[in-house]
Amino acid sequence: MRSAQVRQRTATPRLLQSPQEQAELLTEAIVSARSGSEPIRVLEAGCGKQWPYRPDNIALHITGVDTDPEALRIRREVRGDLDAEVLGDLRSVSLTPGSFDLVYCSYVLEHVAGAESVLDRLAKTLRPGGRLIVRVPDGESVYGFLTKHSPHRVHVLYKKYIEHKPNAGKPGYAPYPAVYDPVVSVRGLRRWAQQQGLAIEREYATNFYLRAFGPLERLAAAAVALLGRMSRGRLSAEHNNIGFVMVKPLLTQLSPESAAVPS
């Protein structure tokens, strides 16, 4: 494992070129969470209706947490890929400290008021040496800014007519109301990781959303770039989504400062 000393970063995260590259990166991160020969103990925080990663020849034991009983039913009865399930809110559900090798939280925190407290709780569930994967839209991107400051009905229309998702807005289907607490950003996650004493093993960004505009992709990209310039650098036009892989240090690597975990 890399040193638990958190690096100070000023560069933007690495921009991935394809969904396949993203899948390979995340699969590698999942495999790296393995400890010994036992199945990787995964906490899927906000599990939704499907789990997208199945590393070859690696056993997973997945515990899914969600507030949607229908999503849990689908995972249990249709997908058959949950070994345990918990119906509840990540802000209050009971989770055993140090019980997971990997915590995976994908496109959940941008919808949560109090997202940083959720991250605090998730970090506590990791064993020393375990990994936390967080995927969110960057609240300090043009995309994130527009999402946060536009009506929810606009998000529904975007999903329906740009991303061609006919069930958008129906119960159990995205989009969900956007919150975007400050931690839901590149700077916010870097700051939080440093406070927690977590090492940032990987950072990446994507802008695949522009492809949904089809023949209007170049026009959409130009409009986003213009808004980025108008923000005088406060908003990134290069990406919309970001992913972080963080590592909880081994007990022998903890300093008195990094060992402190907020209550």
Residue 262: pLDDT over 90: no
Q: How many residues does the chain have?
A: 263
Report CA dihedral (68, 69, 73, 75) to the nearest 10 degrees. Answer: 30
Q: Give the distance from CA 14 to its chain's centroid.
A: 16
Task: State if pTM tops 0.75.
Answer: yes
Which ranges of the chain does DSSP label H, i.e. alpha helix? Answer: 19-31, 69-73, 115-125, 142-148, 152-161, 186-196, 217-230, 256-259
Preceding amide of 175 cis, omega within 30: yes
Are 165 and 159 contacting, i.e. CB atoms less than 8 angstroms apart?
yes
Nearest to 2 by CA among 227, 261, 193: 193
**pLDDT tens-digit profile of 166-200?**
999 888 788 999 999 999 999 999 999 999 999 99
The C-alpha angle with vertex 188 and arms to 182 and 192, in degrees rounded to 5, equals 115
CA distances from 91 to 65, 121, 145 (A): 11, 8, 24
Alpha-carbon gap, residue 156 to 170, rounded angstroms: 9
**Mean pLDDT of the region 116-124:** 98
- What are the residues whose beta carbons fall under 8 Å from the beta carbon of 252, sequence distance 6 or more? none
Quote the mean pLDDT of the chain: 90
Cα(108)–Cα(85) distance, rounded to whole angstroms?
Answer: 17
pLDDT band for 252, please (50, 70, 90 cuts): low
Calpha distance 64→105 (Å, rounded): 10
Q: Which residue has the higher pLDDT, 1 or 253?
A: 253
User: Which residues are paired to 203 by β-bridges?
Assistant: 244
